[in-house]
Amino acid sequence: MSSPDTLARLEATIAARRAADPESSYVAKLNAKGPRKIAQKVGEEATETVIAALTQDHEALVGEAADLIFHLMVLLNAKDVPLADVLAELDRREGVSGIAEKASRPKD
């Protein structure tokens, strides 16, 4: 059964496996390749998620979304960004118009 605790458990599992043997852990294997490779994998999974969404295949979209979230969490862990920081940012944005929030960001 899924719950908000699912992400917390996943975060703990990713942290525990980060320094494991890359021969026995996919998380360790990704980390051994470095943040650049993990970020590339996030991009691949994002593209696959978009494709699944456009094909209107519910099962494929669910699977690809899970892959995307997993790989994003591996990247966050590799960069020492706790999921709590991301959740706090989402909490901060709650109730703020998306247009207003985007307008408040620094301009490049």
From the CB of residue 75, how many other CB atoms can be counted at a distance below 10 Å?
20
Q: Is position 21 within any domain?
A: yes
- What is the Cα gyration radius of the chain? 16
Q: Nearest-5° angle of CA 37, CA 38, CA 43?
A: 95
Q: Is position 57 within any domain?
A: yes
Q: Nearest-5° angle of CA 39, CA 87, CA 35?
A: 15
The pLDDT score that the predictor gives to residue 56 is: 80
Closest C-alpha among 16, 13, 80 to residue 5: 13
Number of domains in the chain: 1
From the CB of residue 79, how many other CB atoms can be counted at a distance below 10 Å?
10
pLDDT, average across residues 92-102: 75
Separation CA 28–CA 19 (nearest Å):
6
> In terms of pLDDT, which residue wins out, 64 or 102?
64
The pLDDT score that the predictor gives to residue 99 is: 72
Q: Is position 95 within any domain?
A: no
Q: Is position 90 within any domain?
A: no
> What's the pLDDT tens digit per position in 4-63?
699 999 999 999 999 999 999 999 999 999 999 999 999 999 999 999 999 988 999 999
Q: Is position 99 within any domain?
A: no
Separation CA 72–CA 3 (nearest Å):
18
Q: Is position 51 within any domain?
A: yes
Q: Is position 18 within any domain?
A: yes
Q: Is position 91 within any domain?
A: no
Q: What is the CATH number of the domain that holds 11?
A: 1.10.287.1080
**What is the residue range of 65's domain?**
5-81
**DSSP code of residue 96:** S
DSSP three-state, residue 46: helix
